[in-house]
A and B are shown apart, each in its own frame.
Chain A
């Protein structure tokens, strides 16, 4: 037996590419993934930064933070925040009703929650604009009270509420479902009333999921365009959202200006992404 080992006594010949795993395909799938990611996402995104950097710092600051841009950010971020807050309340109630109550057409309602994911934003935009216009079904109800919704910042909030709804409901639902009745029963057995139980036991347990949903809805709403422009009115310094400003500057061939606003929005988006990841990590730690 020893004699036949003669050849193999030397170090085994290593394959050119060191095998890391018995499963094949890492090189090619990883290569294609990185290639697609770079060509479709990363390199074009870098173009925005480079375009914005072509200007002098003073020009950049002016393009990023002039009065009109500031008003647009205020509207985009403000309305997105208010819409996320509205969803935070009504989305919470909706999720609670879907998980805890029985009511007619529950299956249908449950399916409709995802409508904003499936409905093209432009369709949502014209539908909401028509509905909340002074002569629309809902707008005409608000009109006598002196409340104008469509073509005002309020309209922007309505559109962003539509967009953000499923984020909150769908993030809360599974957590509510997992919330064991034992905990509530334990609280009740210790003498807590129903309201006490909800305020001190249920809501705190939902807090991480609620925050995650809020952040997701907010992040999505900040960049939203299609559903907003039809209902917003798009008046400069009044009801003009930040993404619209980019479109307007593009139409005026002010590429650097458009890129500058885009950079500001990207920075905020990435910050939000970071916050969302942190919140989710926190939520995982709590539930572990």
Chain B
């Protein structure tokens, strides 16, 4: 499409002003914070930063973060596949309402997400006394952290897959089934190849949020060092103890994860161009 220059291009001065404003804004809000994390982490040199990451508490936090993501992400993949199959491949009343319910955790404050599990499983909660009797700890323990993480990442995979599967319709699945494929076979050989990029995209965002969640996890964790501290919580503890190098060293590790996520995300967007708007 050729645009005639004077009618649809902004004058040079306007372009310069807009770009300058954007540059200042993005520098202050996005770029400098990112740079400052690595800068603060390396303030006392690389060895000090590496040492902070290698402490026993930090290692325990890293392990717990990985464990949490390793449970929450597969759970949400399974949920997302079920939900998108049910929603996209069948007609039933109340579908828009169901989609809204699936999206609900995005509109709930992370702190509230943590609170609800304290209210259900905490000592004062519905199942508190029963859990106490049976010596099961959910809140202020790893299960609570995992549950809260699942809650905040609940819609990620489903909301990627539902529109994608709706767009693709049911013809190919019906064709496979009319040719004798079982439901599972139709899913694996026909549906899965069509949704793999969207699924990967959802997993990527889900994983980033699962590893980085702070508010919800903070409420249910109990902040027991070496036991119920995830990486973001460990960052908080170190920061509040004025161990800035330590806090920023762990933060830099999380930053690195975020940057990798963004790079992979860009790659996926090139692999499968998306037209949909919005974020999370």
A117 and B37 in contact, given A90-B21, A162-B29, A259-B119 (Cβ under 8 angstroms): no
Chain A residues near B280: list those with CB within 8 A. 117
Which positions 107-126 of chain A face chain B at CB distance < 8 Å? 107, 109-126
* Interface residues contributed by chain B, number (CB under 8 Å): 110
> How large, as a class, is the contact surface on chain A?
35 or more
In the bound assembly, the distance between CA atoms of A96 and B213 in angstroms comes to: 31
Residue in A117, A124, A173, A250 whose beta carbon sits within 8 Å of that of B277 in the complex? A173
Q: Which of B28, B213, B239, B262 contacts A118 (CB 8 A)?
A: B262
Whether B224 is near chain A, meaning CB under 8 Å from some CB there, is no
CB distance from B161 to the nearest CB of A (A): 12
User: Are the CB atoms of B116 and A47 closer together than 8 Å?
Assistant: yes
Q: Which residues of A contact B122 (CB under 8 A)?
A: 255
Q: Beyond A114-B279, A181-B3, A194-B10, is A43–B18 a contact (Cβ under 8 Å)? A: no
Which residues of A are found within 8 Å of B187, using beta-carbon distances? 25
Q: Add 18 more A-B contacts to A25-B187, A101-B15, A120-B213 (CB < 8 A).
A: A44-B117, A48-B119, A93-B25, A110-B266, A111-B263, A122-B251, A123-B232, A123-B258, A126-B248, A130-B40, A188-B8, A216-B278, A226-B110, A230-B236, A243-B110, A246-B111, A250-B118, A262-B109
Q: Does B1 contact A (CB under 8 A)?
A: yes
Q: Tell me whether B33 and A112 are in contact (CB under 8 A).
A: no
- Name the A residues within 8 Å of B85 (CB-CB): 25, 29
Interface class of chain A by DSSP:
helix
Chain B contact residues, majority secondary structure: helix
Contact between A189 and B7 (Cβ–Cβ < 8 Å)?
Answer: yes
In the complex, per-residue mask of A164-203: 1 if CB is within 8 Å of any chain B CB, else 0:
0111001101110000110011001100001001000000
Contact check, A119 vs B255: say whether CB atoms are below 8 A apart: yes
- A37-B101, A120-B254, A223-B109 as given contacts; A93 in contact with B18, CB under 8 Å: yes
**A93 to B26 CA separation, bound complex (whole angstroms):** 11
Chain B residue nearest to A168 in the complex (CB): B279
- Chain A interface residues (CB < 8 Å from chain B): 20-26, 28-30, 32-33, 36-37, 40-45, 47-48, 51, 90, 93-94, 96-97, 100-101, 103, 107, 109-128, 130-131, 136-138, 158, 161-162, 165-167, 170-171, 173-175, 180-181, 184-185, 188-189, 194, 197, 209, 212, 216, 219-220, 222-226, 230, 242-244, 246-247, 250, 253, 255, 258-259, 262, 265-266, 269-270, 272-273, 277
* Contact in complex: B26, A23 (CB < 8 Å): no
Question: Do B109 and A243 touch (CB < 8 A)?
Answer: yes
Highest count of chain A CB atoms <10 Å: which of B11, B89, B275: B89
- Neighbouring B residues of A189 by C-beta, 8 Å: 7
Judge whether B101 and A224 touch: CB under 8 Å.
no
Q: With A22-B177, A23-B173, A209-B277 given, is the CB distance from A115 to B258 under 8 Å?
A: yes
